[in-house]
Each structure stands twice: as C-alpha cells, then as structure tokens.
Structure 1
Amino acid sequence: MSQGSFILSAFDLNLWCSILETRFTVDDLGALQAIIDADIDDDPDFTGFYSIDPGELNDINQRFNVGFDPASLNLPEIEVWLERERKGRSLRDVPYLVHTNFELPLMLDGRKKLARFTDILPRTEEAFDRWVEKGLFHKEVFLKRIPPSLKPYVIDPDHRAVRDVYYTLKGEEWRIPAMNLLWKTGVGWNQHFERLEGMLFGYEDWEMDWWIAHRNEQSGGIGGVPFCCTVDSEGLKWMELAGFKALPPLHKIQVHIYDPDEDIATAAFLAEDESAVALARFKLSLEMRRKLLDGDARGPWQINREQIPEINRHLKRQVDVLFPRSAP
C-alpha cells in the first residue's frame, strides 16, 4: 500500500503567508486522490499543490484522523492548501524562520528589509502593492531580456524577458541598487555574495553563519554544481599533499552529479569501484559544466587524465572527501 507524509496549511490572503499547518501520514495515496479528485496521470506522486475546499477538508479529517480546523482562527480570507512533504532538504528543517513565503508579514514587522521576486505571480504582486499604495513599501521593477544562449532552455518560447520586482521598507531603498550590483558582478556566486545577499534581505548574522555552514556540509559550498568521483588510495594521498585543492591526475575517472538527498545512491558509487577508498566531491560553475562535461545533463561522464587539469583550474572551492574507508 502506497504511503506518504503530507502537509495541510491555512493561507492568509491578507498577510500572504501560511498561518497554520499540520503534518499527517497518508496510508493510501489512492484514497487521498479520490477525495481531492487529483488526476493521477498528471501527478501520480503528488508533486503539486492542491487547493482544498471545506468538503474535501472534512473528508481528509475523517479519513486520515487529522483534526485540522482553520475555521477556528475566525479570519475572513483563508485558503487551505495540500502539499506532499518533500524528501531530504526542507526549509522547515532550518532552525530559524526562512523568509521564503513569509516575506509580507516579516516586512510589515520590520524584520525583513527587502523582498525580491522573479516573474512574480499576479496575486502575490497585488498583495504587496496594497502596502505600496498605503505608503509603507517602495517598489521597483526591472526587465532583463533572456540571452539567446538560454532560450533553448526556456519552457515557454514566448517568454523573452525576466521581470524582477523589488519591495523595500520606506527608507531602505538603497538596498535595491546594492542587490542589483551584487547580481551583476559576473564572477560566479560564492559564500561571500550569499552573506551580502542575506544581509540585504535582513537576515541576522547567526542565521547566515548557520546557512553557509549547512550548505558547506550538505553540498560542498554555495555556488556551482556539485559533482563526485571515486578515488583510490594513491589519489587520496595526492589530494592530501595538494591541500585538497585539486582532483588527482588519475588515468580516467567517472564523474557523477552529487545529490545531497541521495546518500545511499551516492555511496553505491563507492561500492561499485573495488579500488576506491573514498568519494571526492567538487564544484564547477554551470558554465564550466556545460563546457567541460558534454552529453547527458545527468551524467555520468567519463573524464580522461588530460581533462583533469582543466577541471582543476575551474573548481569553485576545495575538494571534500566523503565516505572514507580502509584501502582494499
């Protein structure tokens, strides 16, 4: 019987954020699909978000013993939404309130100084514009044409420009040109830019410290695309002597995309190589990934010894050693 963990949330249309949530376990996905009339062919794994009407909520409460009652809040404009809890990384696991989806109340409270939206949804823009009209927020809009090199990757061929919308508290307008300058540096994103961006948004120092340390641990740092490959004992010694600043000049390596949410699958790469003693995790910019790693976007890629120096010249940060084991 198929199972899953789901979240019901009450969304306040005035504050434009979730104000009440509950997590519950579904022992039969088919039963849930029957209640909300979801098209199983379009979304068999429940990856979408579903608006739930009062009748559907009542059926969910009864069938899965949830007890979710947003009506008890006595608020006039609330929508109820259903989503499946995502595997692995989740903003709900962060030890502080991430601003995402809570931008409006945090700005009204003065805790958030700047909000930035790319191709903002009309209803979201309307919710923020109400406070611009009241004189509490400042708003600026920027249009950026999509470069020809990226047009093949655009889902909608008629989408020719990216629309960025900024909101700040009155008196904090300086943050908008500062953020634009940050994004126009063109030298590749890193943890220093991440910290500056967090400061402009209004995050506290300890929150940014935690976030950067967490990203370093989980995916090998901020900026770039994470990859991994196996290394033998000689390769590991070579990396140690190089201060873990380069991949070893092996005869040939197989490179995989590194997914921090798939530790079991990642560790399997190590098991498949009898001579391997560890995995090496490294990061390249998206531009270098396209240039150096041809073919299937998901890999794996076979890399010859002659290509390794070029990869080493474009590493985003140090090489991390994962899953070390004794030499065979």
Structure 2
Amino acid sequence: MTGTADTAFAFVLNALDPDLLSPCLATRFVTSDLVTLRQNLSIDAADDPLIDNVYTLAPPDAAALCAAMQIDFDSGPAIVTLHKDNGSRGGPPYLVHTGWELPLLLQGRKKFAVMHFTTRADHVALKRRFDHFVAMGQLHAEEHVSGEGTRHQTIHAVYTPPGDAWRIEADKLIHRCAGLSGGWNEHYERLLGMLMGYEDWQNDWWLEELAKHDKGWFGISLTAAVTRAGLEWIAHAGNRALPPIEGDIFIVASTHMLQDETMQFALRDNPHIDAFVQFNIDGRHLIPHADMRVGGTYALPASAIPELNRHLRRPVRIVAQRSSSAFE
C-alpha cells in the first residue's frame, strides 16, 4: 500500500519538555500529502513509504514542517517528535503511562515504573534525566545491567517515588508467584496495574480489552463448541471450568483462526452446539496432548479436561451463543 491523494493519514507532533524529556505539548493533524511530509523529514519514499517510524525534529526543522504543512503548532525551542496515529479512537479512555513515566512519577500520579535503557542516544539522554532526579532524592531507583560491554547492553531500571520502594519488592513477589502458580493471569495483571498507580476502573477497562481482543497475554487462547448441558455446567462452575463431555475426544481450535461466521454457521447447522466458549491456558499443559507446532484444530482426549481446568489462566468466556430466535 502506498499513500495517494485520496488516502489520508493522521500524525501526532509532540514537543518535549527539555527538563523531563517527555511531551509537554501535542497536536494531531491529518494529511494525504506524504510527499511534502517526507521532504520535510528528509527521508526517501523507499525507506519509509507510509512514514511509520518515529522522527525527531530540531526546533527549526519543526517550524519548517509546520509551515509547509500549514499546522498551527508553536513548539518554540523544544525538540519535537512526529509519529503516526494508528487509530487512537477506541483506545484507552485514560492516560497510558508509557512515555510519561518521569513527569507522572514526579507528580506522584505514577507509583512504579519499569524502564529499559539501551545505548541509543535518546535512551542515554533520558537515563540522565532519571539519574538527576534520583540524585536529588525525588525518586528511588534499583537497576541492573545485561549484556554489559556489548552493543546490546541494556540497563533495566525500576523507579518509585520516595517512600514507595516497597512496590519494587511487591513486583518481584508478584512475578515469583506467577511463576510458581502456572503463569501470568488477569489477577497478577491487575495487581501490577495497581502497583503502577492505575485506578480500579482503568484496570477494569484494560482487562476487558485483553479479553475481547485476545492478545495472548494469558497463554494460548482456544475455543471449543459446547452443548446446552455443557453451557449450563460452565455457568454453575462460575465460568471457572470446562464441562465434561460425552465421547472420548474434545475438539478445540486456535481462537484467532476461528472466524465469527464459522461459529454462526455451526450454530445454525448443528443442533447439538449451543455455544462456543474461549479459554486460556499455558501451552506447556497442552504439549502432552497435542502437536503445538501445527496451528488450527486439536483433538484432545476428553480425559485431559480435568487437567486443563487446573491450569486455566482466566474465566471461560462465551464468544458465540444460540438464541431462541436466531435460526428460526
């Protein structure tokens, strides 16, 4: 795909606070003139045809770009970054902390931050700003280095406001518990969000989004057809277990490969199917029962269901269901 006169793209300009190296002023603009935009960014069409990368502009370059694109954005002497807005509509209805860690920590709105600094110039500069506020006693930090002395050297640092250093040990404990109890799940994700300073309603929204869009955060996502009796069994179990089935084989499919239309056709054509349910499980618990190198559909022994139930990462969700009138 290449940009044309009929194709409009949205971009965001951020002016960076020179002391905190985080955005302090921003604007969004829409354009189909990628030729002029590339010229002002001094990039070739072959290198970044749709301008998907992030670009840093010195003050004169930012002013020239705004003049050329007729953007009302006075960033003054600040360094400016430009990135494509890949669909903020439908995004979180709150400020995501990423990119705003330092000012939010200093304001006390963020309680815990995990940062990874490589040898890139912008990472080195940002690390210096964090170091400055640590030295001033305004932040507490712990860090370790991986790949020391190599081009892959990375400083892994955690920061809290003064008096909140206990959150670092709490984070270690949460990850240790996750490792000992079968892996990361929605409860650990919520605890981590609370540690970082997100509000309850924000954590609620985030977990619901993870469930709806199935990003694989909680292990492998599988979907299975169930009968009416099976659906009732799941409800009685509080959506915390898969139902026993008749027969010796439990058919499951990779969620991302099972289209909504396929499920609707099955509900219409097979009177024994009353719903499709989705569940998450660590792949290691499937290896004894299925060849995980092949995606798609797996025929699991029905006798494996109790073991699967012991290792479910999150509640069983109904993703498609027969209604009394849908197929009449």
Q: TM-score, normalised by structure 1?
A: 0.73
- Residue 100 of structure 1 is matched in structure 2 by 98
Judge which range, 111-120 or 175-184, deviates more. Answer: 111-120
Q: CA deviation at 1:313?
A: 4.7
Given the alignment, which residue of 5, 9, 12 partners 2:10? 5
Residues 122-141 of structure 1: matches in 2 within 5 Å?
122-141=124-143
Q: CA deviation at 1:104?
A: 1.2
Residues 24-35 of structure 1: matches in 2 within 5 Å?
24-35=29-40
Q: CA deviation at 1:82?
A: 1.0
Equivalent residues of 2:184, 2:313 under 8 A apart: no
Given the alignment, which residue of 2, 16, 27 partners 1:22? 27
1:45 and 1:235 map into 2 onto residues whose CA distance is 48
Q: 1:162 to 1:133 in 2, by over 3 A?
A: closer
1:7 and 1:286 map into 2 onto residues whose CA distance is 39
Equivalent residues of 1:114, 1:167 under 8 A apart: yes
Q: CA deviation at 1:180?
A: 1.6
Q: Counterpart of 1:189 in structure 2: which amino acid?
A: W
Given the alignment, which residue of 226, 233, 236 partners 1:241? 233
Given the alignment, which residue of 204, 213, 224 partners 2:218? 224
- Residue 192 of structure 1 is matched in structure 2 by 187
Q: CA deviation at 1:58?
A: 4.3
- Residue 212 of structure 1 is matched in structure 2 by 207
Aligned-partner SS, 1:184: helix
Given the alignment, which residue of 256, 267, 271 partners 2:260? 267
Q: CA deviation at 1:247?
A: 7.0
Q: 1:290 to 1:107 in 2, by over 3 A?
A: farther
2:254 and 2:313 map into 1 onto residues whose CA distance is 16
1:207 and 1:171 map into 2 onto residues whose CA distance is 24
Aligned-partner SS, 1:257: helix
Q: Deviations over 1:134-158 (max 9, x none)?
A: 222222113579xxxxxxxxxxx98
Equivalent residues of 1:247, 1:319 under 8 A apart: no
Q: Deviations over 1:68-119 (max 9, x none)?
A: 2212xxxx5x2211111124787xx323322221121122222223222134
- Residue 256 of structure 2 is matched in structure 1 by 257
Q: Counterpart of 1:267 in structure 2: which amino acid?
A: D
Q: 1:14 to 1:218 in 2, by over 3 A?
A: same
Q: Deviations over 1:1-51 (max 9, x none)?
A: 333221111122312211111122122434433332334444344332111
- Residue 166 of structure 1 is matched in structure 2 by 158
2:211 and 2:44 map into 1 onto residues whose CA distance is 39
Q: CA deviation at 1:294?
A: 2.1
Residues 267-306 of structure 1: matches in 2 within 5 Å?
267-270=260-263, 275=269, 279-285=276-282, 287-288=284-285, 294-295=292-293, 299=295, 301-306=296-301
1:279 and 1:237 map into 2 onto residues whose CA distance is 13
Equivalent residues of 1:223, 1:316 under 8 A apart: no
Judge which range, 307-316 or 170-179, deviates more. Answer: 307-316
2:89 and 2:173 map into 1 onto residues whose CA distance is 30
Q: CA deviation at 1:303?
A: 0.6
2:322 equivalent to 1:322: no
2:184 and 2:250 map into 1 onto residues whose CA distance is 31
1:62 and 1:266 map into 2 onto residues whose CA distance is 47
Q: CA deviation at 1:59?
A: 5.1
Q: Counterpart of 1:285 in structure 2: which amino acid?
A: D
Gaps of 5+ in 1: 146-156, 259-264
2:287 and 2:69 map into 1 onto residues whose CA distance is 47
Equivalent residues of 1:35, 1:59 under 8 A apart: yes
Specify the structure having the higher radius of gyration (Cα): 2
Q: CA deviation at 1:128?
A: 0.4
2:45 and 2:112 map into 1 onto residues whose CA distance is 39
Q: 1:118 to 1:56 in 2, by over 3 A?
A: closer
Q: Counterpart of 2:25 in structure 1: which amino acid?
A: L
Q: 1:165 to 1:289 in 2, by over 3 A?
A: farther
Q: CA RMSD in A?
A: 3.7
Q: CA deviation at 1:271?
A: 6.0
Q: Counterpart of 1:181 in structure 2: which amino acid?
A: L
Equivalent residues of 2:214, 2:221 under 8 A apart: no
1:289 and 1:137 map into 2 onto residues whose CA distance is 44
Q: TM-score, normalised by structure 2?
A: 0.73
Gaps of 5+ in 2: none
